[in-house]
Amino acid sequence: MTVAGEDVWAPLTLASQSPQRAAILSQLGVAFHAIAPHVEERADGAPERLAVENARRKADAVEGTLVLGVDTIVAVGGRPYGKPRDGDEAALVLGLLSGREHEVWSGIALRSAGATEVRSARTAVRFRRLSAAEVRWYIDSEEWLGRAGGYAIQGRGAALVEAIEGDFWNAVGLPVAELLTLAPERIVGVGQSDHRGAIPRSVSTSRSSSSAV
């Protein structure tokens, strides 16, 4: 199958070195290879627009027939927060998120045949009220390194979360439902491996105040 002369069944190029995004694509059975995009990411602006623009920049920065760029941003009160620079900054961000709801925005950009299609996704996450000891426990784990908002919901960061509304995989770093809406024939059907995971097309997870992800 071709789109504007391009082979859409060619292997996907992931413009990211995120192990979380790579793991999700692998569970979907998608054949891909990852290349780190060397781009300057924007840090200021409306969170949704920022995530989409950064995703587009990443997709445009990497060579390939079919290139996927993704960017994820945590926002509180409309203010975006990226990856903390050090442990002190990570602790400050976790203190800000403590006991309140924040948004996780992801932008995805899929470039093929010289054209780029984009989508965005939003997930609402509420943190438990964290004690100083809990913040220190998480900072000491170093799991916050390289994570938007300074936490990983699929890891030890699950212990920080009280509730989630929306796509769980978006909060991890790759909105599966939006990706499949964007190009199901080019993603689900692109070079599927024999190891197909059990990730559904759309995942929404919510938890009561007494549960943990």
Active site residues: 71
Residue 27 CA, distance from chain mean position: 15
Query: What is the pTM assigned to this prediction?
Result: 0.80
CATH entry, 2-187, from 3.30.1050.10, 3.90.950.10, 3.30.70.660, 3.60.70.12? 3.90.950.10
Q: Is the torsion defined by CA of 127, 133, 137, 142 positive or negative? A: positive
Residues 47-79 have pLDDT tens digits of 999 999 999 999 999 999 999 999 999 999 999
Helix axes 87-97, 132-141, angle to 10 degrees: 140
**Cβ neighbours of 31 (radius 10 Å):** 14
DSSP summary character for residue 10: S
The number of angstroms, rounded, from the C-alpha of 89 to the middle of its chain's C-alpha atoms is: 21
- Going residue by residue through the chain (213 aa), what tens digit of pLDDT does each one get? 333 444 445 678 999 989 999 999 998 888 889 999 988 888 788 999 999 999 999 999 999 999 999 999 999 999 999 899 999 999 999 999 999 999 999 999 999 887 999 999 999 999 999 999 999 999 999 999 999 999 999 999 999 999 999 999 999 999 999 998 887 765 555 444 433 333 333 333 333 333 232
Q: 3-state SS string over 45-78?
A: CCHHHHHHHHHHHHHHCCCCCEEEEEEEEEEECC
